[in-house]
Structures are given as structure tokens and as C-alpha cells.
Amino acid sequence: MTFSNQVPVAGMGCLCACGNTVANAFNGVLNADAHFVLPTGRVTSTYTNKYPVFLVPPREYKDKPADMTFSQFFFIEAAKQAFAQTGISPQQLDSKRVGVIIGASVHPSFHCFPIYRHWKEGKLSTQDIAELKKYLATPLAQWVSNYFHFEGPFQTVVTACASGTDAIGLAKNWIETGLCDAVLCGGTDEITESPYDGFIRLLVSTPQRCRPFCKTRQGINIGEGAAALLLTNQKTAQQLKLPCQGYVLGYGNACDGFHPTAPDPQGIGLQKALSFALKESGVQLQDIAFINAHGTASQANDSAESIAFNTILPHIPVWGSKGATGHTLGAAGAIEAVLSLQALNKRLLPATVGFTTPDEKLKLIPTIQHTAIEKRYAVSDSLAFGGCNAAIVLGASDVA
């Protein structure tokens, strides 16, 4: 099967609680091995109850420059991995139109929380003002573009927890429309006080490890990390003899605007996003190996997703990867895309970590054991605050 709209992924990188490379992260998912701890030293919270999170291990950022945020550092490390996988340096793209699209949630929205606190306390310093001006003058995608000396367009996508998926989908569009020859895309986010306290205040955090789609699920564990993918057009891939890690075949986005934080109970927006992505991809349902679900393990999210899957993608295996990685917020869709491509290329679908007991109300049982797969396509979806929904269809490296 061939597609006229296939956009190849030349390289990809990942850094999260499960591992410091794509291969290590996928092995961490398979072994349910992750850095799942209390955010001591990284987050100060006045809540009596403390909630563990999925953190990037401290050894992975011991060399972080002082003038880099965690989100910036995570993405740069993932991007370096992506370029290493391609076998070329960023400088070898100097003659190409290279764009940058990065999805994030915490970094663009809540990174200045300490400055805000100082202002509220009447302790705003000249250093705070300088940091704020620097932050406002250099959005994340622009900063990354400058870091690699790219001269193409750049965009920071902030659609909350759908940001990473939207970034990949928009990067595909930039390639297809001829705006760019290559696009460095993905997502990155870090754990700070604002999302940590915010999810607790929303009453959706759990002190136990999350259990996607399980009857006994009690809520979300937030996480952090980054994933980067280098997408190119076919001409650039051939000219530079780039390897292929897979393909982005379809993208769909829809906003139902149901509630500021809760999904539409019937998953109406998600159903539309899935339908758009499937139509654009040209992939038939019988050829899809699995869905990498948003699967946060909250009551409302898992219920809405189950309805959407049973309506649009019936009888297709569902994998909830957040049981292994946690909910990495704006980075989630990108990390899940990388893990999905890895699963397709390894021909191995992981079990959903944490799932033990079917919930008869959901009419959905996710993967309960590691399973060999032969089908070469997958769907990855994301839901977010504000009613944002996004989905992408991915193909394995051997589908062309």
C-alpha cells in the first residue's frame, strides 16, 4: 500500500521517566520501569498529601546549562538524538527550508510562576524583570530554531495536553504544502508547581500509580520529558540519503469546547479528530494494529475515549502508555508518537501498565500483555483542556 501524502520521519529522540533514548524509553515501557517519585527539590507544595510524579532522573540533566529551562534542555537532548539517528548534522540542512514546531503547555504558560509570586509579595527585582523580558522575547520554538541556526518558520503550539500531537500534525502540513523541506517537531514539558498543584486542586491526581481504563482507576500522575521528530519531504530524504523511522500519514483536530477542563462525555470532538485523521491517511480500519490512547486514568477522560473508540475505531486494540510514562502534558502526544513508531517497527505492542480489572461501563479492555503485531499502522490521540482534540495516523518504516 502506498500513499501520496506520506511524510517520512527521518529521526526521532526521546527523554522521559522511562529512559533517556527512544530505545531505552520503549524498554522502560515494556518493563514498567520508570522514575516514579515525589517531586522533592523540584516542586514546593503546601498540600498535606503528596503525590508522586514521573520525573526525568536527575542524572539526565546534571549538565543542564543554568540559562536553559528544563523544557528547553529536554527538547534539545531529544533533538540531538533525532539528528544522530539521521546520520546528519543540523548544519547539513543549511541549504534547506527547515521549520520548527514544538508543542508545550507548562513552559509557555506557567514558567514565570516564581516571578508572579515575587510580584504578588511586592518583592519583584530587576533580575525578575530581565528574566521576564527574555522569556517574552524568545518563545520556545523560536529559541530552538535559533539554537540550531535554522532560518525557516517556527511555531510554539499551546493546545494544552494535545500540543505534542498538534505539533506533529502541523509539521506534516508544512511539508505537504511546500512551506518547508524539513521540520523539527515534537513536544516538551517540565513539572512545576502550577500543574502539580493544579491537577491536585482539580481532584484528578492520585497518590498511587495510574491505571488507564481500569475499573479501580483513581486519577492522573503527571510527568515530564520531551520527544523530537525530524520530518522531511521525499526529495530531501532522497538527496541526503536519510533513513526512515516511519511515516506521518494523517492528522485531525477538532475542538468541541464542552468545558474548560473536562472532555465532552460522548467524545464528540475526539470522534471528529479521529475521523479527519483516518480520512486524510487513507488507511483502512482493518490495517490498524493499535490505538495509543490518551488514557490518563481519570474517570471522565477514559469514559469519553472509550465511547469515541467504540464508535470510530471498533475492535482495534487499545494501548494506554501513560501507565508507564505518566501524563507528560504538552509533551505527551509527541512521546506517544515516538513510542508508537517504535512499537510498529519492533512489531511489539506493550501491555497497559497498571490495568488489572475491566470496567464494564467502558466496554473496552486495553492491552493486558505484550503482543506481537503484524499490521503496520497505528493511531495516537490526545485530549486537552478547552475541548481540544487531536489525532494522527502513523505508519511503520516499511510501509512505503
Query: Taken in order 370, 373, 376, 382, is the CA torsion positive or negative?
Result: negative
d(CA 110, CA 195): 8
Tell me which residue has cell 470510530: 312
Clarify whether 180 is annotated catalytic: no
140-147 vs 70-86: helix crossing angle, rounded to 10: 50
d(CA 222, CA 158): 17
d(CA 52, CA 45): 12
Greatest extent of the chain over all pairs of C-alpha atoms, in Å: 64
> Could you tell me which residues come within 8 angstroms of residue 257 by beta carbon, excluding any fewer than 6 positions away?
269, 386, 387
Contact criterion met (CB below 8 Å) for 341 and 319: no
Clarify whether 161 is annotated catalytic: yes
Considering the candidates 161, 210, 214, 388, report the single residue annotated as catalytic.
161
238 exposure class (CB count in 10 Å sphere: 0-12, 13-18, 19+):
exposed
Beta-sheet pairing, 246-255 with 388-395: antiparallel
d(CA 289, CA 321): 15
297 exposure class (CB count in 10 Å sphere: 0-12, 13-18, 19+):
buried
Length of the chain: 400
Considering the candidates 16, 111, 327, 388, report the single residue annotated as catalytic.
327
Clarify whether 327 is annotated catalytic: yes
> Could you tell me which residues come within 8 angstroms of residue 239 by beta carbon, excluding any fewer than 6 positions away?
none
Please identify every residue annotated as catalytic: 161, 294, 327
